[in-house]
Amino acid sequence: MKSSLPLLSPLPQRAALTHALDELAVELTVYCNLKCKMCSVWELKQHGVALDVAQKLLRQARSLGAHTFTPCGAESFMRKDFLDIVEYAHALGYTTQDIVTNGTMITDAHLDRLQKTPSVYLHISIDGPREVHDDLRGEGNYELSVTCAKKCVERGIRVGLSGVLMRETIERAFHIVDLAAELGIAEVSFQPFQEEISGPDKDLKRFSLLRTPKEVIKEKLEALSAYSHGKSVSIFTESMFGVVPDYLATGKRPIPPGGCFLPSKFLLVDFRGDVYPCFFMRSDDDRMGNVLSDEITDIWHSTHHQELQVLALTERCPGCLAACSDVDSFVGKESAPVVYAPAKGHAANATAAEGAGE
């Protein structure tokens, strides 16, 4: 019998599914010299993959097209071979190496080497004025971080400042813009407080803005944007400011309008060597392999990888909001409708408690 169904033409292959790798992120260490009150990453205390494995990953990622290397985890300068890895990446042709650092361990000898590695872009974390910063990070650390930022500017090392938007810093975020303007730093970045970094056991009420009226957060962010423009300091994450109030006040997790492109251009290798498609798809089902037994050249565009890419592109990923989210996908789409994934962690608990009338 002849089928009455129309002949289905094959689905066109989405260009994103065969896109080249753009960025490799490797958690080189989860050791840190500080124990900041809003962070639990330092508690893991482990180094990531060995130098030879890191070098192999860098070569393989370059062969897949990557030109950005993002060393991450806790404090990269805790690794004695950290700058060997950075210099190796530079020699391979990486053009950008985004290094988020507390800046407190960077010596003049480190700066000499960084100065000769122009792909390096340091992002020094500053939480607010001295008293706010030192209360969260420990006495004397504001001075160390600001001195490091100053020296970077003097030596022509690319540098930005990174702040966290949380209950006790959001009012004082202007300070970070002022500091950037004073030091001659052109760009700052603000990411909202996340439980992924704090862990569930910190003083979440102290940091979280959950249940703060969204309008209040919106006004503060608008004022911060206007202030930065007035000071000619740009905010890397400004395109995400429209969704920050919802994220902070309700815990709802945005996915960029039209889906997230990040897993189509990015790979994360965590400190255990496990490979994931982004910083926030990190369940067992999202683990695509381990670099100690698998090659990232096989993982890239594998069936598993393509399945995860499709989840992100069709707005079915966990959603997130951080400086390492797909910031580019928000640019120019500030008024486009955003899909929200459900809240997680303390935000999900708060929503459930609200629903139960607690």
What angle separates helix 130-137 from helix 141-155, to the nearest 10 degrees?
Answer: 110
262 touching ligand SF4, by CB under 6 A? yes
Of residues 72 and 83, the one with the C-beta less far from ligand SF4: 72
b/e per residue 222-234 (b: at least 16 CB within 10 A): eebeebbeeeebe
Report the site for ligand SAM in 215-274 (rule: CB under 6 A): none
Q: Which stretch binds ligand SF4 (CB under 6 A): 89-97, 171-179, 274-282, 332-340?
A: 274-282
Q: With CA atoms as reference, report the closest residue to 291 among 23, 43, 136, 59.
A: 59
102 touching ligand SAM, by CB under 6 A? yes
255 touching ligand SF4, by CB under 6 A? yes
Q: Residue from 14, 16, 19, 42 that binds ligand SF4 (CB under 6 A)?
A: 42
343 touching ligand SF4, by CB under 6 A? no
Binds 318: which of ligand SF4, ligand SAM, none (CB < 5-8 Å by kind): ligand SF4
Distances (CA, A) of 8 to 3, 4, 5, 200: 12, 12, 8, 49
75 touching ligand SAM, by CB under 6 A? yes
Of residues 75 and 270, the one with the C-beta less far from ligand SAM: 75
**At closest approach, how far in Å is the CB of 332 from ligand SF4?**
17
Other CB atoms within 10 A of residue 297 CB = 14
| Spatial contact of 68 and 24, defined as CB atoms under 8 Å apart | yes
Q: Which stretch binds ligand SAM (CB under 6 A): 33-41, 274-282, 310-318, 334-342?
A: 33-41
The token pair at 294 is 């698998």
DSSP 3-state assignment of 78? helix
321 touching ligand SAM, by CB under 6 A? no
Q: Residue from 68, 141, 162, 309 that binds ligand SAM (CB under 6 A)?
A: 162
Other CB atoms within 10 A of residue 333 CB = 14
Q: 347-352: which pairs have CB atoms within 8 A and are 24 or more residues apart?
A: 347/195, 347/208, 347/210, 347/250, 347/251, 347/252, 348/251, 350/210, 350/211, 350/251, 351/250, 351/251
Give every CB contact of residue 327 below 8 A, 6+ residues apart in sequence: 236, 237, 239, 240
**At closest approach, how far in Å is the CB of 64 from ligand SAM?**
25
Q: Which stretch binds ligand SF4 (CB under 6 A): 48-56, 173-181, 206-214, 255-263?
A: 255-263
Q: Which stretch binds ligand SF4 (CB under 6 A): 34-42, 105-113, 176-184, 233-241?
A: 34-42
191 touching ligand SAM, by CB under 6 A? yes
Report the site for ligand SF4 in 321-340 (rule: CB under 6 A): 325-326
194 touching ligand SAM, by CB under 6 A? yes
How many residues in total does the chain contain?
358
Distances (CA, A) of 4 to 9, 10, 11: 15, 18, 20
The DSSP line for 177-217 is HHHHHHHT--EEEEEE--HHHH-TTS-HHHH--TTS-HHHH
Of residues 41 and 312, the one with the C-beta less far from ligand SAM: 41
Site residues (vs ligand SAM, CB under 6 A): 32, 38-39, 41, 74-75, 100-102, 125, 162, 164, 191, 193-194, 197-198
Site residues (vs ligand SF4, CB under 6 A): 32, 34-36, 39, 41-42, 74-75, 102, 255, 260, 262-263, 278, 280-281, 312, 317-320, 325-326
